[in-house]
Amino acid sequence: MGAKPELKLAWETKVKKDNHHILFFRKNWRKEMWSRRLREHPYMEVLIPTDTLHQQIHKLMDSGIPRPNEYACEMVWHDLEELKLVKLIDKRDGIEQRLNTLIELFNCCGENVDDTVYALVLQKHIVRKFYHGPF
């Protein structure tokens, strides 16, 4: 009899995933209290494929997400907490849903957040292209 083929365990065949902070880089977001708290909010971290999507996002967005003013960060943080309390956001939300939520919340601020919203929309387009192919 021949040798048995080597079987891979279920966890060995899965795609490697890594935590991705939607609001990156840390150096952009650690200067003030509310921006730091917003970046550290559990809704800002999501597992995504390491070798493909994570690398694409960081390669195409080499300057990261620009930090808006402190008032906008505070408003978005409080809004996220309210949404969490009424269960409109969940830790199982995918990256597209999280980006849509953040874009809506920052747009409601009306406080010089255009650069941040633009960067979040760009990140959303990268994610959509990865998961759904070219438009």
Residue 10 host element (H or E): helix 10-13
Which position has the higher pLDDT, 57 or 135? Answer: 57
pLDDT at residue 124, as a whole number: 94
Which position has the higher pLDDT, 8 or 99? Answer: 99
pLDDT per residue over 26-51, tens digit each? Answer: 888 888 899 999 999 999 999 988 88
Cα 106 to Cα 96: distance, rounded to the nearest angstrom: 15
Mean pLDDT of 94-111: 92
13 pLDDT more than 60: no
Give all strands (DSSP E) within 38-133, no chain letters: 45-49
pLDDT at residue 26, as a whole number: 85
- Domain range list for the chain: 17-132
pLDDT at residue 17, as a whole number: 83
Q: In the chain, pLDDT over 90 holds for what percent of residues?
A: 53
